[in-house]
Chain A
């Protein structure tokens, strides 16, 4: 199990301040797990075909290879990419879900590239908890996604700095 590089703590502190504690846990787990080999393209294609053809999938379990440890500078590079990619993927899922909800209610295929006027047509997504509801519309998802390249740039700048590349 890899030892966390102490330079990451500054990033963890920043995530904590933005209430992204869950992301810190994922980063720690991911770094300590190391890099596992991915399924081969052939295996993935076969699995997709079996699922789509509604046949009973036969999963081929390949012998588990040793995970490659992530250490030193690689931890920094891995972490900054993970933060940006995770937010990117989650916003993409929310965008697709919002489109799907609009299609179900309005009966037409919505497009995330078209931003409706706030409050018209769109279905708002809410996460309700004891501390109140967090609301999200398609405008919010688009606006948040637009800011992702800026975040990625700042993460890469910090990564280069702590690795002594600048």
Chain B
């Protein structure tokens, strides 16, 4: 144990407690990626909003404005009836066209029935509305899937996000 380093670390982690979680740094990178995507959409003229896990919109006038990411084991979409304390999403739409949702860390049932957690996924809002009725995992693939790799074999030199498009949902 190195007391001077321990003290300096604990001063930082006392403010940034999420970094003490096993998924904390990874989730931070995923949040960075999903909010950059959302901000890019906003800059391009899309309407963009934050949404609680019960489907309600987070507004600037709300007394509590929390964007919740989920730690722990991968899971599906929580039912709206479970309240607003599960994973938040980012919603967006182009004018009056149908809306979309950006999800973080949701498990999908693949076509092989195996489950896959997708770091950042974009799906039609109708999929989110349907799943929030009783909770569960979506089947198939999202329209856009982004795998966020903030470390890897090249560790410090590798911070990237891989994305793919799919048209099955």
Q: Chain A residues in contact with chain B, CB under 8 A?
A: 10-11, 13-15, 17-23, 26, 29-30, 33, 36, 38, 82, 85-87, 89-91, 93-94, 96-97, 100-101, 103-107, 121-130, 133-136, 140-141, 143-144, 147-148, 150-151, 154-155, 157-158
How many B residues touch A, CB cutoff 8 Å? Answer: 58
Complex contacts, B155 vs chain A, CB 8 Å: 26, 29-30, 33, 82
Quick one: closest A residue to B38, CB to CB? A104
User: When the two chains form the complex, which single residue of A14, A20, A140 contacts B1, counting CB atoms closer than 8 Å?
Assistant: A14
* 20 residue pairs A–B, Cβ–Cβ below 8 Å: A14-B5, A18-B6, A22-B22, A33-B154, A36-B157, A38-B154, A90-B28, A94-B31, A104-B38, A104-B50, A105-B58, A105-B65, A106-B60, A124-B65, A126-B69, A128-B70, A128-B85, A129-B21, A129-B72, A155-B5
Flag if A147 contacts B70 (CB, 8 Å).
no
| A128 CA / B75 CA spacing, docked (Å) | 13
Which residues does chain B contribute within 8 Å of A123, judged by CB atoms? Answer: 50, 58, 65-67
Known: A101-B67, A127-B21. A17 touches B58 (CB 8 A): no
